[in-house]
A and B are shown apart, each in its own frame.
Chain A
Amino acid sequence: MEGGGDEFAIGVLISVKTTLGEEFEGQIVSFDRPTNLLEGVGRAERGERRNVRVLKANYIREFSVVGRANDPLDPAGCVLDLSAIHAREEAALRQAEIDAERIGVGVTPEAQSIFDALSKTLPVQWDKTDIVVMKEVRVCNPYLPENVSGGTSAANERVKKVVKKPHTICCGVQSVGL
Chain B
Amino acid sequence: MRPSTRRPDATRPRRTAPRTHQANAARPHDATSHTASTHGSSELSSPHAPARSRAKPSREKQTPLLPSPRADHRFARCLSPPILPACFLRLPTARGCGGEPHPPSRRRPRPPLPGLARVSGIRALILPFPRRRSVPSRAVLRSVPHPAPIRRGPRNPRVSPRQWMRVINLLTSSVPRNMLKRRIMNHQQQTVPLRASANGFPHRKLDREGSGRHDGKTQLLRSSSGGFSGTENGGKLGHESPSRDRLVYVMAHLIGHHVEVHVKNGSIISGIFHATNSDKDFGIVIKMAQVIKDGSARGQKSACDVVKKPETMIIPARELVQILAKDVALGGDELPKGPSHEKRKDLMIDAAISRSHFPEERELERWAPDEGDSECLELEKYDRKGNRSWDQFETNAALFGVKSTFNEELYTTKLERGPHMRELEKHASRLAREIEGEDTKDMHLAEERGLYLDDDFDHDEEIKYSAVRRDTDNTKYKLSTNISSNTNQVDPKALLLCPSTADQESSSHVVGTDLAANFPTLNPDKSRLDDKLTNDSSGDRSTRNLQTENIISEGGRLSISEDLEAPSSSSRASEPSSSGQAKKSSESQAADSTLSGKLPSSAEHVNSSQRPGSSTSSTSERIAANSVACAPGLSPSSSMGSLSSEKSSLNPNAKEFKLNPNAKSFTPSTSLRPPQPPASDGAYYYANNMPTAAPLAPPMGMGFPPAYGGQPMVYNAPPGQPQGYMHPAGPQYGQQMMMGQTRPVYYYAPEMPQYRGRNF
Measuring CB to CB, which residues of chain A are less than 8 angstroms from any residue of chain B? 8, 10, 18, 20, 22, 29-35, 37, 39, 41, 46-56, 59, 72-75, 77-82, 84-98, 100-101, 103-109, 112, 153, 171, 173
Within 8 A of A (CB), among B652-710: none
Residue from B322, B330, B345, B358 within 8 A of A54 (CB atoms): B322
Q: Collect the chain A residues with CB atoms within 8 Å of residue B314's CB.
A: none
Does residue B327 face the partner (Cβ distance < 8 Å to A)?
Answer: yes
Question: Known: A39-B246, A86-B201. Is A52-B356 also a contact (CB below 8 A)?
Answer: no
Choose one: A10, A32, A77; the contact of B332 (CB below 8 Å). A77
- Docked pose: A10 CA to B325 CA in angstroms: 19
Contact residue among A52, A56, A84, A104 (Cβ-Cβ distance under 8 Å from B254): A52
Contact of A52 among B63, B245, B307, B330 (CB under 8 A): B330
The answer to the question of B348 belonging to the interface, with a C-beta cut-off of 8 Å to chain A, is yes
For B280, give the chain A residue with the smallest CB separation: A35
Asked if B255 is at the interface (CB within 8 A of a chain A CB), the reply is: yes
Contact present for A100 and B281 (CB under 8 Å): no
CB distance from B190 to the nearest CB of A (A): 10
Residues of A within 8 A of B338 (CB): 81
- What are 20 A-B pairs at a CB distance below 8 A? A10-B246, A20-B262, A20-B266, A30-B246, A46-B333, A54-B322, A56-B320, A59-B322, A73-B331, A77-B333, A78-B331, A79-B74, A79-B78, A81-B339, A85-B252, A86-B201, A97-B356, A97-B358, A98-B352, A100-B309
Which of B74, B282, B287, B335 makes the CB contact (< 8 A) with A37?
Answer: B282
Alpha-carbon distance A78/B201, docked complex (angstroms): 19
Q: Which 9 A-B pairs have the closest CB atoms?
A: A89-B256, A30-B246, A74-B332, A88-B256, A49-B327, A34-B57, A96-B288, A54-B323, A30-B243
B327, A55: Cβ atoms under 8 Å?
Answer: no
Determine if A80 and B79 form an interchain contact, defined as CB atoms under 8 angstroms apart. yes
Q: Tell me which of A51, A85, A95, A97 contacts B325 (CB under 8 A).
A: A51
Closest to B63 in A: A33
Q: How far is the CA of A31 from the CA of B63 in the complex (A)?
A: 13
Residues of A within 8 A of B23 (CB): none
Q: How far is the CB of B644 from chain A (nearest CB, A)?
A: 34
- The yes or no answer to B432 lying at the interface (CB within 8 A) is no
Question: Least Cβ distance of B347 to chain A in Å?
Answer: 9
Chain B residues positioned under 8 Å from A35 (CB to CB): 244, 247, 280-282, 317
Kindly list chain A residues whose C-beta atoms are within 8 Å of the C-beta of B339: 81, 84
In contact, A98 and B356 (Cβ under 8 angstroms): yes
Is B147's beta carbon under 8 Å from chain A?
no
B200 touches A32 (CB 8 A): no
Q: Are B253 and A80 in contact (CB under 8 A)?
A: yes
> How far, in Å, is B321 (CB) from chain A's closest CB?
5
Is B746 positioned at the interface, with any CB of A under 8 Å from its CB?
Answer: no
Instruction: Determine chain A's interface SS by DSSP, over half rule.
Output: mixed
| CB proximity of B670 to chain A, nearest CB, Å | 52
Q: A30-B243, A39-B246 are in contact. List 20 more A-B contacts (CB 8 A).
A: A10-B243, A30-B245, A30-B247, A32-B65, A32-B247, A50-B327, A52-B253, A52-B323, A56-B317, A73-B331, A75-B242, A78-B71, A79-B331, A80-B78, A84-B339, A86-B201, A92-B258, A97-B358, A100-B288, A109-B305
Which B residues are in CB contact (< 8 Å) with A10? 241, 243, 246
Given A79-B335, A81-B339, the answer on whether A51 and B324 have CB atoms closer than 8 Å is: yes
User: B280-298 toward A: CB 8 Å interface, digit per residue (1/0)?
Assistant: 1110000110000000000
Name the B residues within 8 Å of A41 (CB-CB).
330
Q: Report the minimum CB–CB distance from B9 to chain A (whole Å).
A: 30
Asked whether B332 lies within 8 Å of A72 as measured between CB atoms, the reply is yes
Interface string of B196-217 (1 = CB under 8 A from A): 0100110000000000000000
Name the distance in Å between B267's Cβ and chain A's nearest Cβ. Answer: 11
Task: Chain B residues near A55: list those with CB within 8 A.
Answer: 321-323
Q: Name the distance in Å between B575's Cβ and chain A's nearest Cβ.
A: 23
User: Which residues of chain A are within 8 angstroms of B255 by Cβ–Cβ distance?
Assistant: 85, 88-89
Name the distance in Å between A45's Cβ and chain B's nearest Cβ. Answer: 10
Contact, CB under 8 Å: A54 / B65: no
The residue in chain A whose Cβ has the minimal distance to the Cβ of B288 is A96
Residues of A within 8 A of B320 (CB): 56
Which residues of chain B in 262-281 are interfacial with respect to chain A, using CB atoms and an 8 Å cutoff?
A: 262, 266, 271-272, 274, 280-281
Chain B residues, Cβ within 8 Å of A153:
496
Q: A52 and B343 in contact (CB under 8 A), knowing A109-B307, A171-B304?
A: no
Q: How far is the CA of A100 from the CA of B271 in the complex (A)?
A: 11
Q: How far is the CA of A82 from the CA of B332 in the complex (A)?
A: 16
By a CB distance below 8 angstroms, the chain A residues around B327 are 49-51
Interface string of B56-69 (1 = CB under 8 A from A): 11100101010010
Q: Mark B454-469, 1 if CB is under 8 A from A, else 0.
A: 0000000000000000
Assess the B288–A93 pair: CB atoms within 8 A.
yes
Task: Verify B358–A75 contact, CB threshold 8 A.
Answer: no
Which interface residue of B54, B280, B345 has the most chain A CB atoms within 10 A?
Answer: B345
